Amino acid sequence: MAPRSKAGSSRSGTRKPGKPVVRAKGAESSPAKLRRRRKPRGSEAPFWEAVPLAEMTREQWEQLCDGCGQCCMLKVEDEDTAQVFITRLACKLLDIGSCRCGSYPDRHDFVPDCVVLQPETVGTYAWLPRTCAYRLLAEGKPLQWWHPLVSGDPETVHQAGISVRTWARSEKGVKASAITRYIIEEV
């Protein structure tokens, strides 16, 4: 297997044959203490339900990010099979505590292959999590109850177990030859 970096990863490695793939944990059920914010009667639909992705303003587009950090996990692609694997290693710029990029405006200065999601290409990234707002809306699906735009609280993505906050590790200090030890999922 000849690996190569994929989708914003800045390291690559090889996967040992026969090693099982461990799936990342992430509860999608609503705990009793977390309640959905209900839309007041007679109000207009929220922008993410009314405005197509391609017509959103930059501000609206950026608000769709739920702050889970999953897209910032390093990916490894097997050059022979084109299989993509997600690791539990976070980009060196990800602040794991907040699940936000520590250098978002100028991230390409530090991570040149960081992917920029755009309305016309968002549907082409199979590695986007099934819970990603960009992916959900591109597929015509509603946002989840824990999304900050729905719940009104940026902490619900973490409370629901969707974010990488509790299981990610920074790529800093990890040798390229060791990256495959951190594979958790095949796309």
Return the pLDDT at 41.
57
Report how far residue 140's alpha carbon sits from residue 105's, in angstroms, rounded to the nearest whole number. Answer: 29
Return the pLDDT at 10.
37
Residue ranges per structural domain of the chain = 3-28+46-186
DSSP character for 159? H
DSSP character for 39? P
Q: Is 15 left (phi over 0), alpha (psi -120 to 50) or beta?
A: beta
Comparing C-alpha atoms, which of 121, 148, 154 is closest to residue 54? 121
Return the pLDDT at 153.
97
Return the pLDDT at 19.
35
- Return averaged pLDDT per consecutive 10 residues of the chain, 187 residues in all: 43 36 37 46 85 96 97 94 96 97 95 93 92 96 97 97 97 95 94
Backbone phi and psi for residue 94, each to the nearest 5 degrees, phi listed first? -75, 125
Return the pLDDT at 42.
58
Report how far residue 134's alpha carbon sits from residue 67's, in angstroms, rounded to the nearest whole number. Answer: 12
22 vs 106, 161, 183, CA distance in Å?
33, 17, 7
Return the pLDDT at 107.
95
Report how far residue 88's alpha carbon sits from residue 109's, in angstroms, rounded to the nearest whole number. Answer: 23
Which tokens go with 62? 């950026």
Return the pLDDT at 27.
37
Report how far residue 87's alpha carbon sits from residue 186's, in angstroms, rounded to the nearest whole number. Answer: 9
159 vs 35, 94, 98, 101, 137, CA distance in Å?
12, 19, 13, 20, 22
Which pairing describes strands 169-170 and 84-90: parallel, antiparallel, or unpaired?
Answer: parallel
Return the pLDDT at 4.
45
